[in-house]
Structure 1
Amino acid sequence: MKKITRVAACAALAMGGTAVYAQSTVTLFGIVDTNVAHLRSSGNGSVNILGTDGNQSSRIGFRGVENLGGGLKAGFWMEAAINPDVGTGGSTNANNQPSGASNSGGLTFGRRATVSLMDDNWGEVRLGRDYVPGFWNLSAFSPFGTNGIGSSSFLFYPVQSAARITNVRASNSVGYHLPKMGGVYGQLMYAFGENSASGPTKNDGRALGIRVGYKSGPVDVAVATTKTEISSLGDLRQTNIGGSYDFGVAQLMLLWNQNKVGSTSTKSALVGARIPLGQGHVRVAYSRVNASGVANDAQHLALGYVYDLSKRTALYGHIARIDNKGNGVNYNLGQAVKTPGGNSDGVEFGIRHTF
């Protein structure tokens, strides 16, 4: 991270000729993560690719904080996804609905774009595009987070692509984050769909979510839910609970999640661990999804190792497999399954650098 401190004269008092100065710090930060992967799926052969985001999501951003006095601070955060394998930028969504999708390939601050007021006593009020409360447990309580072929997201995200619009972030949101309260933490969010027309689609894109957790020493546990109104889907509700315990020799993680889209439902569960080993750590996870009215069941097994070359640079290798149950073809590692009840497997090796 590169910090740039700017001291600028805000105003000169005309009567006294005294300059008033404000000081703020702007930080440039980012991650570049690229890998070589081999993916194979039943009935669809195999493919070799240069991929990205195997360990962490590639990004570039700017953030800053200004001390306003009396404990009050103002801050901003602008973060864009990047695809280092091809040199393009990521996507965003303007209204939390299928009609708001945008992917120009240029630098779009779709990962996060917020301005906020914060205070150590009462917390933080944040406005803009931000992560929904229901997403954080999927990232925090999975050994692979939501990145790479070991990611829990393959089974934990909704099957319907239109229902995934707000399962990670929401635009036009007003959020509140609790201050430090011992080990208690939490987030509340309300997002506008910004529809001017009346009728059944009036509230489409409106999202409401809450997350409450407790972290102290080796223990971390949280519960969250987010509901988004999409009339054509019958609304989306994402609810999950997760926890971890660090035994020192290993950090155990447990996660349960339900996605309800209209009358359909998928319930997913994960058990996994991060185990320190040498100059890095081993990751292992087993996940299972039980689907109702939308897909067949499936299971996911993943194993990986992250080797830290330094505080900023790491090498990693992952291997994973998804097995669809019955005649299912819905779940894969990035290469579509075309044989009913088929499987999808893959291996990836990459490098991740933060700045």
Structure 2
Amino acid sequence: MKKLTLVATAVMGLLSATGAMAQSTVTLYGLVDAGYNHVSGLKNGSFSGIASGIMEGSRWGLRGNEDIGGGYKAIFTLESRFEADTGSVTNRPASGNQLPDRVGATVNANLPVGLAGTPLALGTISAINNAIGTNAFGVNLAGNLFDRQAFAGLITPFGAFTLGRQYTPAYLTTATFDASGTQSSLAAGQVASLPAAFDIRLSNTVQYAIQTSGVTATLMYGAGEVAGSNSANRFLGGMVMYKADGFSVGFGHNEKKNEFGQKSLTNNVLGANVNIGPGTLYGMYATIKDENPSGLSPFFVTAGPVFQNAYNTAFRQDARLMHIGYKFVTGPHTIVTAFNRLDDKRAVNADTDSYGATYTYALSKRTNLNAVLTRFNNKGQGQIAPGGNGFLGGVTASAGTDSTNVAFGIRHIF
């Protein structure tokens, strides 16, 4: 089976381009992934239906390069998502615009005495929750054509320089040291998806990448492009990985400021894998910290700073994400089993564990059949429902409610 991962489609794969390529090429590529998806534990019972992106998000793209001599190549990538079940470029979780129960409770608890618990406060909380759930929880809700990737750059004898919308360094580190490669509901990041624990892709970024003697390293800067502020929405990130015979190790870091220039979502990711027996053992540890969440300010134009401060408290993050998994490939069969834990360090203690297995059978180099079985155990105020690589799972019926995902699909790569 042709292995298509985030790292292979990101700038590190471009660095390994050889001089055997034609002077100038443009390649149309893509992936269609669709199948049956069942999720239990939701507010209205269970969801059963056709879904796109069970193992990997369906996409199509254009990738080009021009050899301009002297070891230099001009490159570009334009990559668009789509939903194989509907033809849309957006999707929403099966739980709709429902927010975790802890959000409303935390907001109410952080309102001034005399306002908390009043009909006015509860009505405002309900309206804001609905607005956030409708306008913030989903994939590519803006409907951007090239939401997945859109960048141009230059490969030189001393590294690659790319500009545009790109995957972030810490996220690529998680993709490399996740046994599932971010595929399916078994992926480590699924237990930390709402609110999002990682910036997956960012626009307006500049990246430098180099690959030599088993070492791959990147540095990324994201311009906030907010008038009157050099720090608002600014992003910095980097990673370094070392690959040797039989094992790999890597570290990635992301840090971002919110629209007010305050330090926002920050990640550190340490991962490794090693060949053991007939397969590969993966391990990863990540920190998630966000004291000043980004993107909430548009929802408080009329509600005012009192509610904004309360919601900032509700959406703060302080957690540790742990992953251990094993991947075994023999002939047309690929089996992945893994255990993931999100350990929430906040007072609300919204913990979630997941475990399960995926099975892939390669019908050919381009087409395979897939099966997924994943169990989510939500503890304390944990309330995450399993999604897929191409869609969010949303939340379960109530805090502490568990969920099981069973999925069967077909994936074709072109």
What does 1:245-324 correspond to in 2, within 5 Å? 245-247=274-276, 249-262=278-291, 264-293=317-346, 295-324=349-378
Specify whether residues 291 and 231 from structure 1 end up closer, same or farther in structure 2 by C-alpha distance, changes over 3 A only.
farther
Equivalent residue for 2:250? 222
How many residues are treated as equivalent by the alignment? 316
Q: Distance in 1 between matches of 2:394 and 2:147?
A: 25
How far is 1:278 from its partner?
Answer: 4.6
Equivalent residue for 1:112? 149
> Tell me, which stretches of 5 or more residues in structure 2 are unaligned?
3-21, 92-135, 292-315, 387-392
Computed over aligned residues only, the root mean square deviation of the Cα atoms, in angstroms, reads 2.3
CA contact (8 A) 1:26 1:65 kept: yes
Equivalent residue for 1:191? 222
How far is 1:88 from its partner?
Answer: 1.4
- TM-score using structure 2 length: 0.72
Equivalent residue for 2:236? 208
Equivalent residue for 2:404? 345
Q: State the AA in 1 paired with 2:148.
A: R
What does 1:90-239 correspond to in 2, within 5 Å? 90=90, 103-105=141-143, 108-119=145-156, 121-157=157-193, 159-161=194-196, 167-178=199-210, 180-198=211-229, 203-230=231-258, 234-239=263-268
Q: State the AA in 2 paired with 1:215.
A: K
Q: Distance in 2 between matches of 1:218 and 1:54?
A: 29
How far is 1:43 from its partner?
Answer: 5.3
Q: Which runs of 4+ in 1 moved over 4 A?
A: 231-234
Specify whether residues 146 and 295 from structure 1 end up closer, same or farther in structure 2 by C-alpha distance, changes over 3 A only.
farther
Q: Distance in 2 between matches of 1:203 and 1:114?
A: 23
CA contact (8 A) 2:90 2:140 kept: no
Q: Distance in 2 between matches of 1:116 and 1:51?
A: 34
CA contact (8 A) 2:222 2:236 kept: yes
> Which protein has the bigger strand share?
1
CA contact (8 A) 1:44 1:335 kept: no
How far is 1:344 from its partner?
Answer: 0.9
Specify whether residues 288 and 251 from structure 1 end up closer, same or farther in structure 2 by C-alpha distance, changes over 3 A only.
same
Specify whether residues 104 and 289 from structure 1 end up closer, same or farther in structure 2 by C-alpha distance, changes over 3 A only.
closer
> Tell me, which stretches of 5 or more residues in structure 1 are unaligned?
2-21, 92-97
Specify whether residues 128 and 150 from structure 1 end up closer, same or farther in structure 2 by C-alpha distance, changes over 3 A only.
same
Q: State the AA in 2 paired with 1:255.
A: M
How far is 1:155 from its partner?
Answer: 2.1
- TM-score using structure 1 length: 0.83
1:284-308 CA distances to partner (integer Å, 9 max, x unpaired)?
A: 0001111022542121012110101
Taking CA–CA contacts closer than 8 Å with sequence separation of 6 or more, which of the two structures ends up with the larger relative contact order?
2
Q: State the AA in 2 paired with 1:305.
A: Y
What does 1:5-84 correspond to in 2, within 5 Å? 23-41=23-41, 44-84=44-84
Equivalent residue for 2:108? none
Specify whether residues 266 and 227 from structure 1 end up closer, same or farther in structure 2 by C-alpha distance, changes over 3 A only.
same
How far is 1:340 from its partner?
Answer: 3.0
Residue identity (%): 31
CA contact (8 A) 2:284 2:324 kept: yes
Specify whether residues 236 and 209 from structure 1 end up closer, same or farther in structure 2 by C-alpha distance, changes over 3 A only.
same
CA contact (8 A) 1:80 1:90 kept: no
How far is 1:102 from its partner?
Answer: 6.0
Specify whether residues 77 and 340 from structure 1 end up closer, same or farther in structure 2 by C-alpha distance, changes over 3 A only.
closer
> Which protein has the bigger helix share?
2
CA contact (8 A) 2:334 2:361 kept: yes
How far is 1:318 from its partner?
Answer: 0.5
Equivalent residue for 2:294? none
Q: State the AA in 2 paired with 1:292.
A: K
How far is 1:234 from its partner?
Answer: 4.6
How far is 1:146 from its partner?
Answer: 2.0
1:93-148 CA distances to partner (integer Å, 9 max, x unpaired)?
A: xxxxx8xx96354x6111111111112x3010001110110101221111222232
How far is 1:264 from its partner?
Answer: 3.5
Secondary structure, in 3 states, of the residue corresponding to 1:85?
Answer: coil
CA contact (8 A) 1:116 1:125 kept: yes
